[in-house]
Amino acid sequence: MGPSALRYADLNERLESLGYEVEDLGDLDVIIPETRHFGDPRAKYLREIADACVHLANLVLGIRQHGHTPLVLGGDHSIAVGTVSGVAESFRRNGKTLGLLWFDAHADFNTPEISPSGNVHGMPMAAIMGYGPAELTKIFGFSPKIQPQHAVQIGIREVDPAERQLVKDSGIRVFTMKDIDRRGIGSVMDEALSIVSTSTDGFAVTLDADFLDPYESPGVATPVRGGADYREAHLAMEMIADTQKMVSFEITEINPILDVQNKTAHFGMELILSAFGKQIL
């Protein structure tokens, strides 16, 4: 329902007002969880999620091969495995290097062996970096999808105990909310954009709506207080647009059932516009 809520917020029309030609490919067919047993409790619905990610990865690859910019609407954050895999494969085929900006309250760096919940939406960053089930890590037959020196996480403020060590061992750069509080979002984004742009040919962006503070973004499944406020989030997206190096954008975890008058989806729509170049003047 998250993609529908974003469409209801006039996303397509607003993008067209910025001068873009928008082709809405509709929603992917995915299995409704309530109709299936979750399977392995350490990685619930892994087969179904992996199938959806492979489908999404091929779709994103095709969009990139036709010279267009994928805008992926979710959905829980497990879909990032598919989105990033598709973009990374398009870069690999052309001998290019991809960076990744990951906005989230959570590190999403669990694996089935250490996850306290078994929810795969807590594992996508680990899978992208080569940790976890082969069904997720080996899409298109290579791993990791992003080299650690080209990956940045921003806004992290809730990490599981066993997950913490894996994040540290991975070598990716993480800016927690403490860093944002201490340095300001502008300084953090300057460094983050330098990391994902240095020795790369562009970068992908994935944004979990719980990166935002729950006051601004109540319609998420796993809210964590103390997230980015309205202007911090917009400045981050505006700085991304200024680089003109973003090659894909993804927003996830918008849940209309938990939202208030479509507030989260409307905010998400505004952030997408900022990332795609909407300016104050």
Burial class (CB in 10 A: 0-12, 13-18, 19+), 231: exposed
Annotated catalytic residue, options 104, 213, 232, 238: 104
Alpha helices in the chain (DSSP H): 2-8, 11-17, 46-65, 80-93, 124-128, 134-137, 161-170, 177-183, 185-197, 230-243, 263-275
Asked about 37 being catalytic, the answer comes back as: no
Asked about 106 being catalytic, the answer comes back as: yes
Structure letter (DSSP) for residue 27 = P
Asked about 208 being catalytic, the answer comes back as: yes
Annotated catalytic residue, options 48, 89, 179, 210: 210
Decide if 203 contacts 246 (C-beta within 8 A): yes
Annotated catalytic residue, options 48, 76, 121, 250: 121
* 12-19 CB contacts, 8 Å cutoff, 24+ apart: 14/269, 14/273, 15/71, 15/272, 15/273, 15/276, 18/273, 18/276, 18/277, 18/278
Annotated catalytic residue, options 48, 76, 89, 106: 106
Asked about 213 being catalytic, the answer comes back as: no
Annotated catalytic residue, options 48, 76, 89, 108: 108
Annotated catalytic residue, options 76, 77, 135, 163: 77
Asked about 108 being catalytic, the answer comes back as: yes
Asked about 68 being catalytic, the answer comes back as: no
Asked about 266 being catalytic, the answer comes back as: no
Annotated catalytic residue, options 89, 213, 238, 253: 253
Asked about 242 being catalytic, the answer comes back as: no
In angstroms, the CA 274 to CA 237 distance is: 5
Catalytic residue list: 77, 104, 106, 108, 121, 208, 210, 253
